[in-house]
A and B are shown apart, each in its own frame.
Chain A
Amino acid sequence: MTPKILTVDDSKTIRLLLARMLRPFQVEVVEGGNGEEGLQTALREKPSLIILDYNMPVMDGVMMLQQLRQNPEIQAIPVIMLTAESNPKIISTVARLGVRDYIVKPFQEDLLLTKIKKIISLETKGDIPPVVPNS
């Protein structure tokens, strides 16, 4: 079965960047523009992994994570935080909520791909070469 990755970020730029980065792989990418949309999409799509921003309108990443962990249907989904925020209090809060990794923007695409591959298996599509990661 094709794995599904949910990207939750209020920046369309980041959601498109992640979709472009994942395009060479056999993975379905679904999106949410804030924590509330992210939760709804997580419930509907049951993704294999969530890539989650912190600073978002309507519902931030921490609140979404708290609600995700309280819902038995989706509480076990692994989460990687991808955010410009590096406040130690926030990092320790999300660590307590069981995030698998915390990546601070600006980020290297190859590092994020490595972290994703530690959690889910990413098979390359036969016909599209992988994106050359920035270094």
Chain B
Amino acid sequence: MNLPTQKLDEIAQQSLQEVFRKQFRMEVIPADSGHRTSLGDPILKSEVDWSSANLRGVVQIHLTQGLVREISLILLGDGPDASPVDLKDVAGEIGNMVAGRVSALLAQEGIHGTLETPKVRVVNQEETEKEKSEFAPQQHGEWICGTKRLSLSLKFHPFAL
């Protein structure tokens, strides 16, 4: 993909901030080394595949379960008539919306693709670090929402011949 890294950085930041502001009324800011994820909090990995005529890509987001629970309360409320929801489903929808914005912003750069349905699974911190090194994204950012951490990674490459 012929997009400079700086453009991918902008796309990642804009996508994440738009979704969190517009849908959840939450702010996300870049994490610095002083921020730490609360230990022991399980992590939900939401992954959405993207493809165009000659490229394929992945939008991957890692969220702590605490953050997903907070978002679920914002979306669905916690009153006595609130329905229980699977946190994996909430994480999937967050991934879906962020990937949708990434795809729309890529389209503004002339790169048109379509999305698949999100895949979600629970991972621990160790797996996350291992996968991160294997996944080798073109763009990776660590973010903070309130006191909770999340990350967004993007990877695009031509279809294998």
Interchain CB contact under 8 A, B116 and A55: yes
B101 at the interface (CB under 8 A from A): yes
Interchain CB contact under 8 A, A16 and B76: yes
Interchain CB contact under 8 A, A87 and B96: no
List residues of chain B with CB within 8 A of the CB of A89. Answer: 112
Instruction: List the count of A-B residue pairs having beta carbons below 8 Å apart.
Output: 77
Q: Count A interface residues, CB 8 Å.
A: 26
Which listed residue (A10, A14, A16, A56) contacts B83, Cβ 8 A? A16
Interchain CB contact under 8 A, A105 and B117: no
A114 at the interface (CB under 8 A from B): no
Q: Count B interface residues, CB 8 Å.
A: 31
Closest chain B residue to A83, Cβ basis: B100
B101–chain A nearest beta-carbon distance, Å: 7
In the complex, which residues 43-77 of chain A have their Cβ closer than 8 Å to any Cβ of chain B? 55-57
B57 at the interface (CB under 8 A from A): no
A2–chain B nearest beta-carbon distance, Å: 19
List residues of chain A with CB within 8 A of the CB of B22. Answer: 106-108, 134
Given contacts A87-B107, A105-B23, A107-B23, 20 further A-B contacts (CB under 8 A): A11-B92, A11-B93, A12-B85, A12-B86, A13-B75, A16-B76, A16-B83, A55-B96, A57-B117, A84-B97, A84-B101, A86-B100, A87-B113, A88-B107, A90-B114, A105-B97, A106-B23, A106-B101, A134-B22, A134-B23
11 contacts between A and B (CB under 8 A): A11-B93, A12-B86, A13-B76, A13-B85, A13-B89, A20-B76, A55-B96, A85-B103, A87-B103, A106-B23, A106-B97
